[in-house]
Amino acid sequence: MPPVTLILLNANVAIFLLQYLAPGPLFTWFALWPPASGLSAAPSFQLWQLVTYSFLHGNELHLFVNMLGLFMFGSEVERVLGYQRYFIYYFVSVLSAALAQLVMSAMAAGPPYPTVGASGGVFGLLLAYGMFFPRRMVMLIFPPIPMPARVFVFVYAAIELYLGVTGTQAGVAHFAHLGGMLGGFLMLRRWRRRRFDGP
């Protein structure tokens, strides 16, 4: 397994185990809280949460799905980009997902709630995988339908947009997922432009 992907997998699993020892303090300080939450009794936004939220997970299934995606797509993308650019790409996706979530939180009514999970970074990797290997077949878990990677990415993005707009699946940060994809796309475009136009 490529080095950065392996480090990310180990870090996510290790921090999830730490959550059993101190779940309250970890979520209070390192989950992504909307800035407005500082006006209430809830924990407040801190700058480091733009990254640290991605290492926390809500439960075992949440961790498993994200780590499966990180392993499946991240390993291949890291081999294409190299470990340095891969590291940058992953955390750009994490940051853009966090910013998208903060924007949506500011527009939403109701009490503040934290965002956790590596999904933003994983969705960025999914997009890169679809761009680098557009014809490679990917199998959906449910329903089990094989499709080319580029079609899989488009379908998944469309589903996330639908669920986000309709609010069908509450408790899932659909726009953070789309934000991770958007940040990854812009990063790849920037690198491609620099490759052809020079620094």
Q: Please give the structure tokens belonging to residue 155.
A: 């379908």
Query: 10: how many CB neighbours lie within 10 A of its CB?
Result: 11
Low-confidence ranges of the chain (pLDDT < 70): 36-42, 109-110, 140-143, 167-171, 195-199
CATH of the domain at 79: 1.20.1540.10
89, 77 Cβ separation under 8 angstroms: yes
In this predicted structure, what is the pLDDT of residue 168?
64
> Cα(73)–Cα(101) distance, rounded to whole angstroms?
23
CA–centroid distance for 174 within its chain:
10
In this predicted structure, what is the pLDDT of residue 195?
67
> Cα(169)–Cα(77) distance, rounded to whole angstroms?
29
pTM for the model: 0.90
Report the relative pairing of strands 137-139 and 146-148 from DSSP bridges: antiparallel
Residue 176 neighbours by CB under 8 Å, 6+ apart: 97, 98, 100, 101, 104, 115, 119, 120
> Cα(16)–Cα(10) distance, rounded to whole angstroms?
10
In this predicted structure, what is the pLDDT of residue 42?
61
Domain of 51, in residue numbers: 3-197
In this predicted structure, what is the pLDDT of residue 44?
82
- The verdict on whether omega for the bond into residue 3 sits within 30 degrees of 0, i.e. cis, is no
Residue type, 36: A
Number of domains the chain is built from: 1
**DSSP code for 112:** -
